[in-house]
Each structure stands twice: as C-alpha cells, then as structure tokens.
Amino acid sequence: DAEITQSPRHKITETGRQVTLACHQTWNHNNMFWYRQDLGHGLRLIHYSYGVQDTNKGEVSDGYSVSRSNTEDLPLTLESAASSQTSVYFCASSDDREPQYFGPGTRLTVT
Amino acid sequence: DAKTTQPPSMDCAEGRAANLPCNHSTISGNEYVYWYRQIHSQGPQYIIHGLKNNETNEMASLIITEDRKSSTLILPHATLRDTAVYYCIAGGGNQGGKLIFGQGTELSVKP
C-alpha cells in the first residue's frame, strides 16, 4: 500500500548541530509539506513544495530549509538547531485540490 | 487561506451524533472546506472535504451552508475512539493544497 513515512521518529540533538528529518511518500504526489506542532497548539506550516526543484516558505520557515530532488522525498534540515525548535514535526503530501495525508511525526528535542 | 472559527471544546455522549460547527465567513470561491482530526500526538487524519455540496463518507457527513460561510461536521454515532481535536480548514483550491490549521475543537466523547 502507498504510504508516507518519517524518520527518525524520535531525535535528541544538541544546540548548534545540523539535523535532517526525512519524509518519504509512495503516492507519487506532487505536493509535499512540513509542519511543526508545539504543545497545546495547532500545526504551523514550515516549508512546502509543489514539485521537483520547487520549494516555498511557510509561516515559520526561519532556521529551516528543504530541497526537492525527486517526487518521493522532501527532507527538512535545521541548519543550526535551537531549543526553540524542540517540537513535533509532521510531513504531508497531496495532489492538487485533494486532501493532504500526514505521516506519523518526528519528535525532536534540542538540548 | 480563509480564517476559520471553531469552539475550543465540546462534549458528546457515546452513541449520539456529534455536530461540530465551523465558521469560515471569508472563504473564497475556489477554497474547499477540509476536516481533519488528531488523536493524542498522532499525525492528523483526513476525514472529509467539500466545495459547495454536502458530502458523506464512511466516517462522517459534511454540511455546508448555501452561502458557504459555515459548515458542520457530523459524526453520526460517536464512540469513545472519536475523542480527538477536530480541525476545520478552508483552503486548497488554486493554492495547490496549502492548508492553514487553527486551534480546532477538542471533542470529548463520554460514556
């Protein structure tokens, strides 16, 4: 069955380190998205992509970057991790005008 | 994306219908109404979406007013497993599926 996966599911890192979170989908969706969710809050959009080589900033993009070299993957990189980036990160994918389907999430702790 | 307004919390008795309201008075003509739910810290789960017409699937029904300024998600026979945060989102359309999440409604289904 087609699916969307995220890895790692849990990550602890130190302030200042570069961290990359992986997102992989097998639906062949054009659109992919990264969100973060902090305790007691809704999801906030970090970056998104409408296709290979396309990336766009969301509402909370500072300190994050993405690249889209193929249809299946959209890795999220924290260039220099900060404690404020401790959060749960969700990846999603969709076709145009179709629902987004979400991965299981990555819980990131920056110490 | 249009802003949505939902009550922060609601209770429902097990076996009864849960009716979750959402206001989206600034929705534009090409924006869809999407409903997702999130159980604990799992990834958001797609429930249903619609543009103008009422929609029904195996999980729920979506009633959209004629002027499209509000909608209601109906869970016909709520169970304890339906306890979750429910998000109403107006978006997608020409924006290729980009969605902005609000705070949602925390639904508690009680025995």
Contact between B34 and A42 using a beta-carbon 8 Å cutoff: no
Measured distance CA(A36)–CA(A58) in Å, rounded: 11
Model confidence over A3-62: pLDDT tens digits? 999 999 999 999 999 999 999 999 999 999 999 999 877 899 999 999 999 999 998 999
Span A88-108, mean pLDDT?
Answer: 92
pLDDT tens, residue order, chain B (111 aa): 668 999 999 999 999 999 999 999 988 888 899 999 999 889 999 999 999 989 999 999 999 999 999 999 999 999 999 999 999 998 876 555 678 888 899 999 999
- Residue burial B50-84, b: 16+ Cβ < 10 Å; e: rest: bbeeebeeeebbbbbeeebebbbbbbeebeeebbb
Separation CA A86–CA A21 (nearest Å)? 13
Residue B8 C-alpha, separation from nearest chain A C-alpha, in angstroms: 12
Cβ separation A97–B42 shorter than 8 A? no
Beta strands at B45-50 and B32-38: parallel, antiparallel or unpaired: antiparallel
Taking the Cβ of residue A27 and every Cβ of chain B, the question of whether any pair is shorter than 8 Å is answered with no
Name the β-bridge partners of B91.
B32
CB proximity B97 to A under 8 Å: yes
Given a contact cutoff of 8 angstroms between Cβ atoms, the answer to whether B25 and B32 are in contact is: no
pLDDT at A78: 97
The answer to whether B49 contacts chain A (CB < 8 Å) is yes
Model confidence over A57-88: pLDDT tens digits?
998 999 999 999 999 999 999 999 999 999 99
A89 touches chain B (CB under 8 A): no
